[in-house]
Chain A
Amino acid sequence: MALSEMELGADDAEASPPEDGHTHPARLALGIAVLAAERLRPGAPTSEAFVTGVGLLQQGAAEARTLARRVMGPPTRMASRTVGWASGLPGSERPRRSFSRSRELLNRVVSEAKKRGEATVAAGRADASAFVQASVTDGIAWAQAQAVPQIVDGMLPHLMDDVVPRLIDGVMPEIRTRVLPAVIDDLTHDPRLRDLLMEQSKGAVGEATQHLRATTATADDRVESAFRRRGRNTPPTDRTDSNVIDEANARTNDR
């Protein structure tokens, strides 16, 4: 089942997820396994045996998997060396040529299987990364939209009625005895706060003084107006000293 599906998935296997959004299940499972292995063994590359095995599996033959194990395993190498040694014996030229062709064919098959396995593993890994990221993003969005508000709404009455009062009752003595004195001490020794209070005090006093001056000046005008109305004198003037001084100087000069 999985072999043929993986083979289909590996036909376009590259180191990136498919752009059409459809991911092959077998390749996705392979990628997840690779990611899990990387998490378990950080920094360790995917073994060549695994990659070659994947490639051979994609070729669709259980015998090829067995062959790959033999080729990659120590007994296989020992057998290969033994055959090589035997091929060097007198009278073994004909079998030797046959063995050589077999070894070349086997090496070519293994090399192709390795390349194909690497491509499939890379593509599966990319698929798995995208799948995991999408799953996490969807999960967080769902939690933010659905789960967290419901949880908070459900817990809020309990928190407000039971937990928070108990927390406050438990923490208040500590706050009173340790935190507040420290905060007050810091604030009273903070030059910025003192400057701020000084400025505010100056501002309040200045504003009160301005109000007082404006009020008495208004009273000056009203008293003078009332006096002039009663005495039928000329209306009060609101002339600047500069004007009057100019007129006085002019009068002095006339004299």
Chain B
Amino acid sequence: MLPPPVPRNAYAGLISRLAALVIDVALLTVTALAISTLPSLAWEQVFLRPAPGWFTTGIAVAAGLLPLSYFTASWWLSGQTVGDLLFGIAVRHRDGGDVTFPQSVARAAVGLLFAPLWMIGLLGVLWDERRRAWHDRLFRTVVRYTAPAHGREA
């Protein structure tokens, strides 16, 4: 038996947001690991010598910037990361519009730089009327359900 349908146009709660974050972290971990190791291995296989320093530094920088670019691009372009897409939630401006690029960059940078604080701030979802975390209040964003089908018109 199916659980109650996803409320449409309602604010996403703590479990959905945490689950989406877990998916994103797992995806980024695997991708960053692949980026940081596979190019060096490929270099060694092709040139039969260890990768030079500039190359390993470059791919390390790319792997380091991957989370920031991933979250920024996802929130700016569609408001959804892969985890958000899976769980049917999206980041929106508090007035209902799309998240701007500065908003996306700032939200991603603060979240990555102050990850523990970010996680603690997520608890704000539990008592806020619009289920906003601390960073949502800071960057004037909200997170909503986007499920178009089976949606209960709240």
| A positions within 8 Å CB-CB of B | 206, 209-221, 223-224, 227-228, 231, 233, 237-242, 244-245, 248-249
Contacts and interface: CB of A to CB of B under 8 A. Distances in A.
Interface in B27-80: none
Nearest to A226: B126
A223 B126 contact: yes
B87 A238 contact: no
A206 B3 CA distance: 15
Contacts of B16: 213, 216-217, 219-220
B142 interface: yes
A242 B9 contact: yes
A218 B9 contact: no
A223 B13 contact: yes
Given A210-B150, A216-B15, A241 B144 contact: yes
Contacts of A223: 13-15, 126
Given A228-B127, A233-B127, A245-B95, A213 B147 contact: yes
A88 to B, nearest CB: 114
B13 to A, nearest CB: 2
Interface residues of B, number: 34
Contacts of A228: 126-127
Nearest to B126: A227
B134 interface: no
Contact of B150 (A214, A216, A248): A214
A218 B10 CA distance: 12
Contacts of B2: 210-211, 214
B86 interface: yes
Q: Which of A211, A228, A237, A241 has the most chain B CB within a 10 Å cutoff?
A: A241
A130 to B, nearest CB: 69
Q: Which of B3, B19, B94 has the most chain A CB within a 10 Å cutoff?
A: B3
A231 B96 CA distance: 30
Contacts of B95: 245, 248-249
A218 B131 CA distance: 14
The 7 closest A-B pairs by CB, nearest first: A220-B13, A219-B15, A213-B88, A216-B16, A214-B3, A227-B126, A240-B9
Contacts of B126: 223-224, 227-228
Given A212-B87, A244-B129, A217 B150 contact: no
B38 to A, nearest CB: 29
A240 B154 contact: yes
A214 B15 contact: no
